[in-house]
């Protein structure tokens, strides 16, 4: 899912670096119809009696359930006919469930706060769950503790495919401290989605980076691979600004920008990143919290230069998903930072103006001189989750649906559609029917409207379509080959360590620190500083938020973590 990764990637530099890793994504759904991560096929089949699907002669009771994809832009993969597309019809026949789909184009945290405050929680919700100490995860955990989420624990033995999702592909430290937080007293309220099976091949590569319009690079005589440092990037953007380049409507391009809400402006600051999996950094022989890094000044001043020199979209931090995609579709952004966005571009700009196809810059180099790429642990830390409303009238129907979709039969249906209509089995593996594949390749919206995007993105965990059903090279589309070429240049880095961030939870003053910093938003202050009247004023804003963290005890906290980590050899920063 494209969206699922947005929040996580921002957190590499601006919050807890859990790379991830994104999103969905990128969130609820993606245009390519692939879930973010992994698994195996030796799971319980859809005919499991506990799931209520073994008795073919007994039709399941018909139930309509409301479903919210709580991801900004998460409805992009929803079919036009939500209830009667072929996949939805087959799901209804097997499980008795009809879904009423809803998505958002606003803040995920705001939407979650709204549904909990108004006590209007849909039956099923898919939402970000990066950590229970902040953001969406904290909101969800609070709602669980207040009784607004259904405790799933009594149901898990009845639904083995759902039970498997609770552990497979989940990082051990995240499972202990977040998914099964001691505060939850042994109860389980959320179901992990888009989790891998622990193998490198099963971890979805989101291909985050900087992408530049190929025709502009060609006109400037620039090799995309040569742009791998902050100085070279600045030089490129300066040349673009003075180059009189146009979008498809003949209007001046914006030298650089992002997708909605600044996602992901950290790609423009990647020269100060590193391979981190925690909130803590080692600087000058000392352990510090990321908010106190000396790199924050350099990052801020660089970002300010991009903005004040007219090299960065002034609307980047306020763009809606729709506006950002319009800029992308018209080639308005000469360079953008995010995922490759092929799912959108192949339907728009790459159709109308193929000469403008974006190229991956670099990869960029981080502060250690290594390429900037996706960092993961063997299991995923933070992911989309599904939770059920405590008021749901038929929880068994919802769990029956999730259990079925995570069976062998259910996954085939969600990814491939109807046997004999969209695919046939050959040597034990599904293959698209030739004329159907051509329709899907020519127009991805056809595949979407067959119902082949939304379930795989929102309801799948511990599974990878790429691992289970690898596409032969000669059957890949040009876009699949292009995405694969990015992944080859951006290999995932796996760090098999326990995040140092978890050590702080034993700190006696941890709750006090959280209370004092709950209203502090470093990223918000950083963005405000980017638009200050002068560098001095910008640095004053930056130092102001840093001092507030210091006053709350962030330095003492870092010292505590350093002392705890000294007695262990499995801690990663």
Residues 6+ apart with CB under 8 A from 123: 65, 66, 67, 388, 389, 392, 393, 398
Q: What is the pLDDT of residues 113-141, one digit of tens each?
A: 999 999 999 999 999 999 898 899 999 99
Domains of the chain, residue spans: 63-200+380-468, 209-376, 500-566
pLDDT at 198: 65
63-200+380-468 matches 209-376 in fold: yes
Q: Which residue has the tokens 């491939």?
A: 416
pLDDT exceeds 80 at position 316: yes
Write down the pLDDT at residue 474. Answer: 84
Residues in the chain, overall count: 573
pLDDT at 49: 34
Convert the pLDDT of each residue in 214-250 to its tens digit: 999 999 999 999 999 999 999 999 999 999 999 999 9
3-state SS, residue 167:
coil
- Residue found under tokens 């759902």: 162
Where is 59: in which H helix or E strand? none
63-200+380-468: CATH, from 3.40.630.30, 3.40.640.10, 3.40.190.10, 3.30.70.20: 3.40.190.10
For residue 94, which phi and psi values (nearest 5 degrees)? Answer: -80, -35
Q: Is the dihedral angle over the CA atoms 313, 314, 319, 322 positive or is it negative?
A: negative
Residue 354: which residues within 8 A CB-CB, separation 6 or more? Answer: none
Is the pLDDT score of 323 beyond 70? yes
Residue 18 has pLDDT above 70, yes or no: no
Class of the CATH domain delimited by 209-376: alpha beta
Q: pLDDT tens for residues 23-45? A: 333 333 333 333 333 333 333 33
Per-residue pLDDT, averaged over 145-149, amounts to: 97
Mean pLDDT calculated for residue range 92-114: 95
- Alpha-carbon distance of 523 to 514, in angstroms, equals 17
Q: Residue 505 pLDDT more than 90?
A: no
Q: For residue 161, which of 72, 247, 45 has the smallest C-alpha distance?
A: 45
- Dist CA 21 CA 495 (whole Å): 13
**pLDDT tens per residue across span 345-403:** 999 999 999 999 999 999 999 999 999 999 988 888 899 999 999 999 999 999 999 99
């Amino acid at each position: 899912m494209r969206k699922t990764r947005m929040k996580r990637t921002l957190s590499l530099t601006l919050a807890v670096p859990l790379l991830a890793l994104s999103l969905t994504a990128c969130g609820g759904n993606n245009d390519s119809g692939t879930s973010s991560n992994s698994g195996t096929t030796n799971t319980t089949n859809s005919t499991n009696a506990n799931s209520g699907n073994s008795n073919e002669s007994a039709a399941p009771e018909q139930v309509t359930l409301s479903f919210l994809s709580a991801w900004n832009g998460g409805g992009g993969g929803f079919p036009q006919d939500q209830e009667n597309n072929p996949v939805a019809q087959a799901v209804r026949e097997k499980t008795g469930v009809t879904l009423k789909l809803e998505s958002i184009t606003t803040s995920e945290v705001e939407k979650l706060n709204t549904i909990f405050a108004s006590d209007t929680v849909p039956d099923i919700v898919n939402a970000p769950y990066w950590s229970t100490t902040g953001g969406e995860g904290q909101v969800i955990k609070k709602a669980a503790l207040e009784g607004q989420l259904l405790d799933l624990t009594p149901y898990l033995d009845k639904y083995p495919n759902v039970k498997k999702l609770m552990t497979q592909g989940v990082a051990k430290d995240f499972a202990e401290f977040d998914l099964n937080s001691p505060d939850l007293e042994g109860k389980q309220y959320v179901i992990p989605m888009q989790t891998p099976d622990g193998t490198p091949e099963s971890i979805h590569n989101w291909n985050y980076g900087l992408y530049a319009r190929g025709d502009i690079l060609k006109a400037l005589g620039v090799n995309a691979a040569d742009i791998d440092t902050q100085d070279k990037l600045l030089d490129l953007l300066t040349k673009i600004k003075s180059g009189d380049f146009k979008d498809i409507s003949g209007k001046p391009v914006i030298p650089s920008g992002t997708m909605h809400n600044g996602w992901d402006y950290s790609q423009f600051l990647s020269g100060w990143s590193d391979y981190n999996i925690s909130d803590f950094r080692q600087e000058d022989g000392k352990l510090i919290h990321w908010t106190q890094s000396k790199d924050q000044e350099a990052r801020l001043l660089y970002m300010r230069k991009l903005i004040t020199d007219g090299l960065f979209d002034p609307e980047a931090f306020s763009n809606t998903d729709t506006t950002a995609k319009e800029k992308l579709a018209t080639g308005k952004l000469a360079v953008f930072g995010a995922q490759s966005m092929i799912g959108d571009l192949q339907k728009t700009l790459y159709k109308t103006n193929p000469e403008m196809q974006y190229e991956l810059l670099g990869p960029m180099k981080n502060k250690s001189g290594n390429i900037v790429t996706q960092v993961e642990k063997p299991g995923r830390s933070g992911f989309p989750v599904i939770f059920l409303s405590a008021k749901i009238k038929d929880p068994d129907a919802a769990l029956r649906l999730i259990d079925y979709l995570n069976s062998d039969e259910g996954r085939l249906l969600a990814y491939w559609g109807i046997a004999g209509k969209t695919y046939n089995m050959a040597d034990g593996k599904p293959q698209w029917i030739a004329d159907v594949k051509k329709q899907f390749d020519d127009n991805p919206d056809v595949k979407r409207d067959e119902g082949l995007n939304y379930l795989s993105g929102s309801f799948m965990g511990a599974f990878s379509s790429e691992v289970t059903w690898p596409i032969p090279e000669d059957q890949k589309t040009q876009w699949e080959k292009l995405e694969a070429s990015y992944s080859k240049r951006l290999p995932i880095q796996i760090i098999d360590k326990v995040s140092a961030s978890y050590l702080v939870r034993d700190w006696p003053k941890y709750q006090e620190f959280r209370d004092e910093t709950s209203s502090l938003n470093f990223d918000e202050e950083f963005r405000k500083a980017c638009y200050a009247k002068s560098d001095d004023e910008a640095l004053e804003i930056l130092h102001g938020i840093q001092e507030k963290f210091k006053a709350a005890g962030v330095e003492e906290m870092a010292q505590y973590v350093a002392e705890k980590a000294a007695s262990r050899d499995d801690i990663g920063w």
